[in-house]
Amino acid sequence: MNILKLSTIVLVSASFSYAGSAIQTDWSGGQGVPGPVIEFGCDFFIEMGLDWWQAPGLLRLTGDIVEYVVDDNFDGAHSVHVSDIDGDSDLDILGAAYNANEFTWWENSDGYGTVWIKHMIASGFAYAYAIYSEDIDGDGYIDVIGAAFNDNSITWWQNSDGSGNAWIEHQISGSFAAASAVYSEDIDGDGDMDVLGTARSDDEITWWENTDGTGSSWVEHTIDTYYDGARSVYAADIDGDGYMDVLGAAVHADEITWWENSDTTPGYYWIEHTIDQNFNGACAVYADDINGDGYMDVLGAAVHDNEITWWENTDGSGDNWISHVIDTYYDGAHSAISADLDNDGDVDVIGTAELADDVTWWENTDGSGLNWDEHLIEGNFEGAEWAWPADFNDDGFLDIVAAAEYADGINWWDIASSNGYLESSILDTEDNPDWDYLDWNSSTPDGTSLLIQIRSSDDHTVMGVWSDTLSIPCLLSGILDDGDQYVQYKVLMSTTDPDTTPLLYNIMITWNPLGIEGGSEPEITALLPFTPNPVSSAPVVVFSLEEPAPVSLSIFDLSGRVVSCVLHEEYAQGFHEVQQGELTPGIYFCRMITEGFSATRRFIVID
Please give the mean pLDDT across all residues of the chain: 90
User: Rounded to whole angstroms, how far apart are CA atoms 245 and 206?
Assistant: 12
- CB-based contact 169:125 (threshold 8 Å): no
What's the pLDDT band for 244 if we cut at 50, 70, 90?
A: very high
SS3 530: coil
What's the pLDDT band for 416 if we cut at 50, 70, 90?
A: low
| Closest CA relative to residue 605, chosen from 532, 528, 536, 559 | 536
- The H or E element containing residue 589 is strand 586-594
pLDDT tens digits, residue range 305-314? 999 999 999 9
pLDDT value of position 522: 67
> Out of 331-340, 430-439, 443-452, which region has the weakest mean confidence (pLDDT)?
430-439
User: Rounded to whole angstroms, how far apart are CA atoms 415 and 513?
Assistant: 45
CA count, 13 A, side-chain hemisphere, 569: 16
What's the pLDDT band for 496 if we cut at 50, 70, 90?
A: confident
| Closest CA relative to residue 451, chosen from 466, 462, 436, 463 | 466
Task: Provide the 10 A C-beta neighbour count for residue 32.
Answer: 10
pLDDT tens digits, residue range 418-428? 678 999 999 99
Taking 70 as the threshold, does the pLDDT of residue 5 lie above it? Answer: no
Quote the DSSP letter at residue 576.
E
pLDDT value of position 539: 87
Max distance between CA atoms of the chain, in angstroms, equals 100
User: Rounded to whole angstroms, how far apart are CA atoms 523 and 435?
Assistant: 18
Taking 60 as the threshold, does the pLDDT of residue 1 lie above it? Answer: no
Taking 90 as the threshold, does the pLDDT of residue 604 lie above it? Answer: no
What's the pLDDT band for 66 if we cut at 50, 70, 90?
A: confident
Q: Using H for helix, E for strand and C for coil, what is the string for 123-167?
A: ECCCCEEEEEEECCCCCCCCEEEEEECCCCEEEEEEECCCCCCCE
pLDDT value of position 528: 79
> Out of 5-14, 76-85, 265-274, 337-346, which region has the weakest mean confidence (pLDDT)?
5-14
Bin 286: left if φ > 0, else alpha if -120 < ψ < 50, else beta.
Answer: beta
User: Rounded to whole angstroms, how far apart are CA atoms 511 and 528?
Assistant: 8
Q: Taking the chain, what is the end-to-end CA distance rounded to the nearest angstrom?
A: 28
Q: Which residues of 96-115 are buried (b: 16+ CB within 10 A; e: fewer)?
A: bbbebbbbbbbbbeeeebee
Bin 478: left if φ > 0, else alpha if -120 < ψ < 50, else beta.
Answer: left
> Out of 58-67, 220-229, 468-477, 586-595, which region has the weakest mean confidence (pLDDT)?
58-67
CA count, 13 A, side-chain hemisphere, 573: 7
pLDDT tens digits, residue range 45-56? 998 878 888 888
pLDDT value of position 51: 85
Residues written for the chain: 607
Taking 90 as the threshold, does the pLDDT of residue 488 lie above it? Answer: yes
Task: Provide the 10 A C-beta neighbour count for residue 402.
Answer: 27
Taking 70 as the threshold, does the pLDDT of residue 372 lie above it? Answer: yes
Q: What percent of the chain has pLDDT over 90?
A: 70
